[in-house]
Amino acid sequence: MKNFIHEDFLLQTDAAKELYHGHAKMQPIIDYHCHLNPEYIANDHAFDNLGQIWLEGDHYKWRAMRTNGVDERYCTGKDTSDWEKFEKWAETVPYTMRNPLYHWTHLELKTAFGVDKLLNPETAKEIFDHCTDLLRTPQFSARGLMKKFKVEVVCTTDDPADNLEHHLSLKKENFDIKVLPTWRPDKAMAVENPQEYRAYLEKLSAVSGVTISRFSDLIEALRKRHDFFAAVGCKLSDHGIEEFYAEPYTQAEIEQIFNKVYGGKELTKEEILQFKSAMLYEGAVMDWEKGWTQQFHYGAIRNNNTRLFNKLGPDTGFDSIGDFNTAKAMSRFFDQLDKDNRLTKTIIYNLNPKDNDLIATMIGNFQDGSVAGKMQFGSGWWFLDQKTGMEAQMNSLSNLGLLSRFVGMLTDSRSFLSYPRHEYFRRILCNLIGNDIEQGLLPASEMKFLGEMVEDISYRNAKQFFKF
């Protein structure tokens, strides 16, 4: 496989090779946003086979399989075995050429399992058996894989009502990789469905010990949970939002809106926007008080297929890029926090690539010289997590901000095999810079500085920025 995934994969110039092999490759991984199950780390989960670790919960792969004409039974079905699912995936892989799945699949096979062969129906059995044998050894358990990829820190994604039992047990045990929670209060904002919201409030009330019947109670309960998360080592929050919310509201209005939804009544569109605006602001203030970094993942339209949503639930591969016009609300939101001197370190991730330049200029409005790169433009997310998307994000950031201060890559993944995405990112980064050097757009005489810059973006910037 000399010309495919080889040592110099994606590295088109000598300068790129030098930057990658001399600087990026050996950096540890700080995966500051992912969706790994902390229970798997706490129990050092052993995976049964390659089909299981690859296809359980991976909606990227399911989407490709469905597109390739594979029946749902082999994606999410309960009556098919891991091998049967894997076989259908192997049939699909050759048809994923030019989709990032083709690169990720072979990068994972190569870096985790040393497999040089291409996955297809002919090699499926051999590759499945080889990887499954390895997965059943201790070096390939959840923790084994994290160590193999030199992971230093991971931040999971957790609800305020979560008891963080697995994080606590890892902390107690002094596990040498930091596994920290991330505060993700989406459910505390989801007032669209009064019944579900009321049930969530009851859960939050039970875990916080605060009886919630007014808006101020809700904030008190969240504040207690926020303190608890901080005590367990949390340094980041994250919000999955369609758009930014910064509608004007008064405290009295928010109290009334809360009482209405608490009483089981549906809110108007305007009330929902006002409520979310208040919640986003209150959460941002809590994050500022703790010195956390707040993250915003915005712009997805989720659960587009009602029939399959009803059958399979959320996060099963039926989401897409939205086209919300949110620049003004985004500006108002950050401006209010800045005026109140409550704006904490921030990362914004867009799902629509049309917003790349928008974000790259928006963050510049709120850089205040207190922290290098205080306002960050997040790495290519979800549908943009591929070569084109990463390059576009880094080019926008370079043109309109400072690439050198970028905190770099995160996996945003549910799988312990996704760490090679950091390698993918680093190769793409080194290639971008290497090409510039080759073309005389960056000075070859500054190779030392550029090498350090690559190290910074791969590792050190994140380490200094988040203060884990």
Binding site for Zn ion (CB under 5 A): 412
DSSP state letter for 383: G
Closer to Zn ion by CB, 244 or 381: give it: 381
Work out how close the CB of 324 gets to Zn ion at its nearest, in angstroms, rounded to a whole number.
Answer: 18
Closer to Zn ion by CB, 155 or 218: give it: 155
Question: Comparing C-alpha atoms, which of 28, 33, 29, 26 is closest to residue 349?
Answer: 33
- Return the number of other C-beta atoms located less than 10 Å from residue 264's C-beta: 10
Pairing of strands 300-301, 320-321: antiparallel
Q: Rounded to an integer, what distance in angstroms lies between the CA atom of residue 65 and that of residue 74?
A: 9
Per the CB < 8 A criterion, the answer to whether 73 and 100 are in contact is no
Work out how close the CB of 241 gets to Zn ion at its nearest, in angstroms, rounded to a whole number.
Answer: 12
Sign of the torsion formed by the C-alpha atoms of 65, 67, 69 and 72: positive
Strands laid side by side in the 178-180 sheet: 29-31, 151-155, 178-180
Give the residue at shortest CB distance from Zn ion: 412
Closer to Zn ion by CB, 85 or 421: give it: 421
Per the CB < 8 A criterion, the answer to whether 143 and 44 are in contact is yes
Work out how close the CB of 378 gets to Zn ion at its nearest, in angstroms, rounded to a whole number.
Answer: 10
Question: Comparing C-alpha atoms, which of 446, 331, 461 is closest to residue 403?
Answer: 461
The token pair at 443 is 């000075």
Work out how close the CB of 423 gets to Zn ion at its nearest, in angstroms, rounded to a whole number.
Answer: 20
Closer to Zn ion by CB, 155 or 403: give it: 155
Work out how close the CB of 73 gets to Zn ion at its nearest, in angstroms, rounded to a whole number.
Answer: 28
Closer to Zn ion by CB, 28 or 240: give it: 240
Work out how close the CB of 444 gets to Zn ion at its nearest, in angstroms, rounded to a whole number.
Answer: 38
Pairing of strands 29-31, 151-155: parallel
Closer to Zn ion by CB, 385 or 412: give it: 412
Work out how close the CB of 3 gets to Zn ion at its nearest, in angstroms, rounded to a whole number.
Answer: 34
- Return the number of other C-beta atoms located less than 10 Å from residue 321's C-beta: 16
Q: Please give the backbone phi and psi of residue 58, each rounded to the nearest 5 degrees, phi first.
A: -90, 90
Question: Comparing C-alpha atoms, which of 184, 157, 135, 183 is closest to residue 37?
Answer: 157
Work out how close the CB of 157 gets to Zn ion at its nearest, in angstroms, rounded to a whole number.
Answer: 6
Closer to Zn ion by CB, 158 or 217: give it: 158
Closer to Zn ion by CB, 19 or 236: give it: 236
Q: Where would I find the H helices in 149-213? A: 165-173, 186-189, 194-208
The token pair at 119 is 């996955």
